[in-house]
Amino acid sequence: MNATDKLLKETHNGNLKTLLKIYWSNKPIFKSQYFWTAICVSTLSIIFASLLQIPKFDILKFLAQQATSIIPSVLGFNLGAYIILISLNSTNILKEMTEPNIEEGEKYSFYQKMSSVFAFSLLLQTTSLVFGIIVSTVINLCSSIVIGNIFAEIMNILSQFFLCFVLTYSLVLIGQVVLNVFNFGQVIHFFIRTE
């Protein structure tokens, strides 16, 4: 297998590892304003809940309800936008968008990077929905089970932080998805005008 074939195979694996490599090739996740917004909101939710003495159980119930009611619509929007991206059928435009800019050291194409943003946000939104369903189920089925205070407190804080994090991150990524749809439209417009 020559070097080009090896690079093509490496950059076109359909697994989570490749998705994250492509997604992080633009900017590491820890340098993302969306990531830090979600961290800050999650941390502040715990601080304010403690200061206002709101029971963590009530906050978890609220967050789980929000995740299971809001995220399905967000997932539908994001999935629709992703389908538009991958259903592009102009061979000339696709050829331009799928060529990595090797002169600038790019390993991944514009198309792969844009696709990775949609795929990453879909995975995050799915995680938010699934965790919201799990928390709702645990609350509904296990609310009468008595657990030691310290263990329950730690589990509630961790669950509150994680659920608030994935829910907030899912929602703030909508902005990035909208920008991607706009950028995609701009690229299509550019290629149509220059053909």
Determine the pLDDT at residue 8: 59
pTM for this prediction = 0.81
**Spatial contact of 117 and 177, defined as CB atoms under 8 Å apart:** yes
pLDDT in tens, 165-175: 999 999 998 88
Identity (one letter) of the amino acid at 99?
A: E
* pLDDT given for residue 144 in this prediction: 65
Pair of tokens at residue 138: 């645990």
Give the CA distances from residue 25 to residues 19, 66, 117, in Å, rounded to whole numbers and listed in that order: 10, 32, 11
Could you read off the pLDDT tens digit of each residue along the chain, which spans 195 residues? Answer: 565 556 556 666 677 788 888 888 877 788 889 999 999 999 999 999 889 988 888 888 999 999 999 999 999 988 888 887 777 667 777 777 777 777 666 788 888 888 888 888 899 999 999 999 999 988 888 766 666 677 778 888 899 999 999 999 999 988 888 888 888 888 777 877 776
pLDDT in the model for residue 3? 57
Task: Fill in the DSSP letter of residue 109.
Answer: -
Closest by Cα among 1, 8, 5, 2 to 107: 8
Q: Residue 123: its pLDDT value, please?
A: 92
Contact 169, 35 (CB under 8 A): yes
pLDDT at 10 (0 to 100): 64
Predicted local confidence at residue 162, as pLDDT: 94
Instruction: Kindly list the domain boundaries of the chain, sorted by start residue.
Output: 32-194
- pLDDT of the residue at 6: 63
